[in-house]
Amino acid sequence: MNPRLAAARALAAVLSGKASLNSSLPTQLDKVDERDRGLTQDLAFGTARWQPRLDLLAAQLLQKPFKAADADVQALLLVGLYQLFYTRIPAHAAIGETVGCADKLKKPWAKGLLNAVLRRAQREGEELLAGMERDPVVRTAHPRWLQKQLKAFWPEQWEAI
């Protein structure tokens, strides 16, 4: 199985609220070639780490949000965005491999959408990300509830923490 597809399937379970990444990823890793397991883990954990930022970026790039039944396509898009902005994978490979996974999800309609959104992200993403830096949730990818707690207990050091 393609490492991007495996990571997206594991993340789709998380996005749907059906599982944690610790429970959904091992079953997907068993389906991936041994040489690709590290990449699969990087894609899954990295996408989960930067999910608040990637979700906001995806929302700016999409005309309308995904339906609940398309959490797998949403996860695949987030994996693609993670590759573009947080890995050294060449953009053409990240986009091409990610778009190719739509067929394996049995959602060929998503190929055009993923291709368009990822190519637009490649062109405009840095500007969009720079505009989001003002929000500490997006900048640090820490949930707002955690930031409120840090501010409450360490008002002067919370950003450094």
Q: Mind listing the domains of the chain with CATH numbers?
A: 3-153 (1.10.940.10)
Structure confidence at residue 141 (pLDDT): 76
41 phi and psi angles, rounded to 5 deg: -65, -45
Please tell me whether the overall predicted TM-score, pTM, comes out greater than 0.95 for this model. no
160 has a pLDDT exceeding 90: no
Measured CA to CA, the distance from residue 47 to residue 10 in angstroms comes to 11
pLDDT digits (tens, 9 = 90+) for 11-65: 999 988 889 999 999 999 999 999 999 999 999 999 999 998 899 899 989 989 8
